[in-house]
Amino acid sequence: MRFVFYTHSLASDWNHGNAHFLRGVMRALQARGHETHALEPEGAWSRENLIADRGPGAIDAFERTFPDLSWEIYPEAFDHEEALGDADVVVVHEWTDPALVARLGRARSRGARFTLLFHDTHHRAVSAEGEIGGLDLSGYDGILAFGETLRQRYLAAGWGRQVFTWHEAADTSVFRPLPDIVPDGDLVWVGNWGDDERSEELETFLIAPSERLGLKTRIHGVRYPDHALERLKTAGIDYGGSIANADVPQAFARHRVTVHVPRRPYVQTLPGIPTIRPFEALACGIPLVSAPWDDAEGLFRPGDFRFAADGDAMTRHLRELLSDPDAARDQAERGLETILDRHTCGHRADELLEVLVRLGARTREMEPGQ
């Protein structure tokens, strides 16, 4: 089959975690004999910020890392209907312009041959309900929601006829253990500031414990305000700025432990959605300690990582893992096992194919050279 993905950006992962997942899913679908292509808009804010931050070479670096992924930038006057003429499945991300979301739905309603899916990987359904509720999804065959609570929100609001839970997962073509790298640091955290959605939590579960233990800590991410950078400096934490997602496994390998600090909207209103970072960290075989969130769907087993109820517990867990190599190794191995058993992009590609079967989607086998 030929899959076309409308995404905010495939090329840029600057403050844009969906790019991580989409790259992995596209690779997994291709490994299963399907064809994939991504379309992203001209002037996408993530791509523009990436170029401003790391220079035009950042796009070249993406293409060197993912030479097998097909993508293009579409201008405002792009003929979407013609571009989708040979598509079997079209997946439209929720950051897509609302007018285009509606346009693609109308094309499907008027007889376009492809199966049309809407993909939501954000918390706007609860934090900006009017924006999602205002989208015209009437022509869509199904909704892919990245958590059961989000799926229930769509069903309760009447935003889709058929809604499926489709969690994010680790792209194990990129995220894997790198045992040849010898750690030279203690704690690493990869994440963006988050528009004050977790500023207090970052202090409680990351900055203060690191300062208290005197750890050699490095943080990568973007959109850190001046006061946050000053706080990191006073805590003795090294701020490494933005990092290409493909370089994150090396950052994990150079440190002995990491943490997960979810954004507040997920903890308070969308339980069971960890976002993609824990999947990626565990796939790299690094011990992880998480701030509180409710694993309502049982995505992980007890012992895959540790939960810290408060800052004191986080400090204790970090101290124990850093002082007990055997415990750290056992926990890392257990977390990696769970990822490989159930949370890779390959698993999600198979789930997507199952959704298409349930929808009765028209399918065709790809011919050689097609």
| CA 269/CA 77 separation, integer angstroms | 38
Annotate 256-310 with DSSP letters as a single string.
EEEEE---HHHHHHSTT---SHHHHHHHTT--EEE-----TT--S-TTSSEE-SS
Mean pLDDT of 349-357: 98
Per-residue pLDDT tens over the stretch 37-58: 999 999 999 999 999 999 999 9
Confidence (pLDDT) at 267: 86
Give dist(CA 185, CA 206) in Å, integer: 15
Residue 238 has pLDDT above 50, yes or no: yes
Classified as helix, coil or strand, 41 is: strand
pLDDT digits (tens, 9 = 90+) for 53-83: 999 999 999 999 999 999 999 999 999 999 9
What percentage of the chain reaches a pLDDT higher than 70? 96
- Domains belonging to the chain, first-starting first, are 2-169+344-358 (3.40.50.2000), 185-342 (3.40.50.2000)
CA distance 157 to 301: 32
DSSP 239: E
The pLDDT mean for the chain works out to 94
What's phi and psi for 217, nearest 5 deg? -120, 140
pLDDT score recorded for residue 367: 40
Query: What is residue 296's predicted lDDT score, i.e. its pLDDT?
Result: 95
pLDDT in tens, 283-341: 999 999 999 999 999 999 999 999 999 999 999 999 999 999 999 999 999 999 999 99
100-132: pLDDT as tens digits: 999 999 999 999 999 999 999 987 767 667 777
Residue 235 confidence (pLDDT): 98
What is the DSSP pairing of strand 288-290 with strand 217-220?
A: unpaired
Q: What pLDDT does 364 receive?
A: 54
Residue-level pLDDT at 224: 94
How far is the C-alpha of 190 from the C-alpha of 116, rounded, in Å?
A: 33
Q: What is the pLDDT of residue 131?
A: 73
